[in-house]
Amino acid sequence: MKNIAVGIDIGGTNTVIGIVTENAEILAETSVSTQKYTELGDYIAVLVKSIKDLLLKAEGYNLKGIGIGAPNGNYYTGTIEKAPNLPWKGTVDLSGELKKYFDCKIVVTNDAKAATIGEMVYGGAKGMKNFVMVTLGTGLGSGIVVNGQLVYGSDGFAGEFGHVSAVENGRVCGCGRKGCLETYASATGIKRTVFELLASCNDESELRNIPFSKLTSKDIYDYAVQGDKIALKAFDYTADILGRKLADLCAVVSPEAVFIFGGLANAKELIIQATKNYLEKYIMPIYKDKVKVLPSGLLGTNIAVLGASALVM
Find, among 307, 290, 254, the residue nearest to 135 by Cα: 307
Max CA distance (Å), the chain: 65
Determine the pLDDT at residue 172.
Answer: 96
Determine the pLDDT at residue 183.
Answer: 97
Question: String of b and e for 146-178 (b: at least 16 CB within 10 Å)?
Answer: eeeebbbeeebbbbbbbbeebeeebbebeeeee
Determine the pLDDT at residue 309.
Answer: 94
Determine the pLDDT at residue 239.
Answer: 98
Determine the pLDDT at residue 300.
Answer: 65
Determine the pLDDT at residue 132.
Answer: 98
Find, among 140, 217, 143, the residue nearest to 182 by Cα: 140
* Whole-prediction pTM: 0.88
Determine the pLDDT at residue 13.
Answer: 84
- Residue 85 one-letter amino acid: N
Find, among 107, 115, 120, the residue nearest to 140 by Cα: 115
Determine the pLDDT at residue 111.
Answer: 86
Tens digits of pLDDT across the chain (313 residues): 799 999 999 988 899 999 999 888 899 999 999 989 999 999 999 999 999 999 999 888 999 999 999 989 999 999 999 887 789 989 999 999 999 999 999 999 998 999 899 999 888 999 999 999 999 988 899 999 999 999 999 999 999 999 999 999 999 998 889 999 999 999 999 999 999 999 999 999 999 999 999 999 999 999 999 999 999 999 999 999 999 999 999 999 999 999 998 878 888 889 999 999 999 999 999 999 999 999 998 876 678 899 899 999 8
